[in-house]
């Protein structure tokens, strides 16, 4: 049986369009930091690099390597942790050139530093040396969060954040981090912007 995150981990990846609380445990990720406009070439290259590394792990058995604990699975979705630089935080309007981001793709529990090094070697033909050097293998624990499924284009996210802040008020929760996380459930290249599904999440206490 192939492990499908859409079926097995609906709470993490397919929440409802009403805000809810969730406690996110420590999970393993491949990560890349970046800054600037997400419509840029640099952003696209970072996304492609993370997918190349993730698929290198997924396809190891085809190379005759079956890591200990390996199981068949669907590659996890792309996620982004978003922030603004100091200047961007002072502006009244969002300036996308001032964005600071960490792109991440979750990895199954069997992935180790050793397998990450192997994935980098296997991706060397597809990914620039700079990006391979910048990529990291990290365990991240988000803890208590508020999340909501946003349906629509990325520019309409403030409406959903507004609902999430109202939810915090009603549940006696406080947002504790200016950054937020987005999990991209839809492929923007193939989906009508009005139907894009993006999980929005921020830390709370």
pLDDT at residue 33 is higher than 90 = yes
What residues form DSSP beta bridges with 135?
none
Q: 5-203 has which fold?
A: Multidrug-efflux Transporter 1 Regulator Bmrr; Chain A (3.20.80)
What is the total residue count of the chain? 205
The pLDDT value given to residue 193: 92
Over residues 101-148, the pLDDT tens digits come to 999 999 999 999 999 999 999 999 999 999 999 999 999 999 999 999
In the predicted model, what is the mean pLDDT of the chain? Answer: 97
Q: 147 Cβ partners below 8 Å, 6+ apart? A: 15, 19, 20, 22, 164, 199, 200, 201, 202
C-alpha span between 88 and 82 (Å, rounded): 12
At residue 151, the 3 state secondary structure works out as: strand
The pLDDT value given to residue 64: 95
Over residues 70-95, the pLDDT tens digits come to 999 999 999 999 999 999 999 999 99
pTM confidence score: 0.96
- Residue 134 CA: distances (Å) to CA of 41, 45, 102: 17, 12, 11
Select from 8, 6, 17 the least CA-distant residue to 200: 17
The pLDDT value given to residue 188: 87
C-alpha span between 120 and 7 (Å, rounded): 29
Q: 126 Cβ partners below 8 Å, 6+ apart? A: 48, 49, 52
The pLDDT value given to residue 189: 87
The pLDDT value given to residue 140: 98
* Percentage, residues of the chain above pLDDT 90: 98
C-alpha span between 53 and 105 (Å, rounded): 9
CB 167 within 8 A of CB 19: yes
């Amino acid at each position: 049986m192939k492990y499908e995150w859409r079926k097995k981990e609906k709470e993490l990846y397919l929440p409802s369009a009403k805000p809810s609380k969730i406690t996110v445990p420590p999970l393993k990720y491949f990560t890349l930091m970046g800054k600037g406009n997400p419509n840029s070439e640099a952003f696209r290259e970072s996304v492609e690099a993370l997918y190349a590394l993730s698929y290198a792990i997924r396809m190891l058995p085809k190379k005759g390597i079956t890591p200990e604990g390996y199981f068949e699975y669907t590659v996890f979705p792309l996620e982004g942790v978003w922030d603004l630089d100091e200047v961007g935080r002072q502006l009244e309007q969002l300036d996308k050139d001032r964005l600071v981001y960490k792109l991440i793709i979750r990895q199954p529990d069997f992935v180790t530093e050793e397998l990450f090094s192997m994935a980098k070697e296997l991706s060397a033909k597809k990914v620039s040396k700079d990006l391979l050097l910048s990529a990291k293998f990290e365990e991240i624990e988000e803890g208590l969060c508020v999340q909501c499924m946003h349906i629509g284009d990325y520019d309409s996210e403030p409406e959903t954040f507004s609902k999430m802040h109202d939810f915090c008020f009603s549940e006696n929760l406080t947002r504790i981090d200016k950054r937020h996380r987005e999990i991209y459930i839809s492929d923007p290249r193939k989906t009508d912007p009005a139907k894009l599904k993006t999980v929005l999440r921020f830390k709370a206490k």
